[in-house]
Amino acid sequence: MLDAPDDGFGTRRRTRLFDDLLALFLAEGFSHLTLDEIAARLRCSKSTLYTLATSKDELVRRVTVYFFKRATTAVEATLAQAGNARQRVAAYLTGVGAELAVASDAFMADMNDFAPAREVYEANTRAAALRVRQLIEDGVGEGEYREVHTSFAADLIATMMVRIQQRSVREATGLTDAEAYAELATLLTEGLRA
């Protein structure tokens, strides 16, 4: 997942506001909410929200970046605790799935329907696919995975990750994004074994 720049989220108050915004959006989505409703729900003024972003669209984009930045940190922390290459690939993909599991269907649908948020998700999906490619290359180098064409494997993984992100997998299988990442982890870790 893409490690987004800090964008000045440094102060405790701002961080708490972004945490509260993220919790609200993850639970309910964001398309139906106005800035007035968001301010009322967070018990802050609209002018406080304008210190975070210049518009609702920008606020949604920034909260989406914040979500993926936090997710990246959590996934990398999980990955750091994994042992061999197979465990690292599984830990990474199931970690991605676990981070997405907290998002409601409303949030995922809104993110897919709103171009600035979707672009953030797409960028993170591309970064995650590259990270998995690195992990597979490491596994091949360590002899844990059989010799595979890593570019092909990475393209296959990226294609599936994009299909998950675009909700195609959900429509075809009924799996949530988190469940799809768990299945992808199983297929990869078992299918590439030496």
User: What is the C-alpha separation between 7 and 151, in angstroms, rounded?
Assistant: 33
Q: Report pLDDT for 192.
A: 59
User: What is the C-alpha separation between 127 and 3, in angstroms, rounded?
Assistant: 9
Mean pLDDT of the chain: 87
Contact of 4 with 65, CB cutoff 8 Å = yes
Q: Report pLDDT for 164.
A: 85
Is residue 3 over pLDDT 50? no
User: What is the C-alpha separation between 52 and 116, in angstroms, rounded?
Assistant: 16
What is the domain partition of the chain in residue ranges? Answer: 12-191
Architecture in CATH for domain 12-191: Orthogonal Bundle (1.10)
Nearest in space to 64 (alpha carbons), one of 12, 4, 130, 105 = 4
Up-side HSE of residue 70: CA atoms within 13 Å toward CB? 15
User: What is the C-alpha separation between 190 and 187, in angstroms, rounded?
Assistant: 5
- Per-residue pLDDT reduced to its tens digit, 35-52: 999 999 999 999 999 999
What is the share, in percent, of the chain residues with pLDDT greater than 90? 46
Which residue's entry shows tokens 């970064």?
127
- Per-residue pLDDT reduced to its tens digit, 123-147: 998 898 889 889 888 888 888 877 8
Torsion sign (Cα): 81, 84, 87, 88: positive
Is residue 6 over pLDDT 70? no
Q: Report pLDDT for 77.
A: 95
Looking at per-residue pLDDT, the higher value among 1 and 46 belongs to 46
Q: Report pLDDT for 142.
A: 85
User: What is the C-alpha separation between 19 and 22, in angstroms, rounded?
Assistant: 5
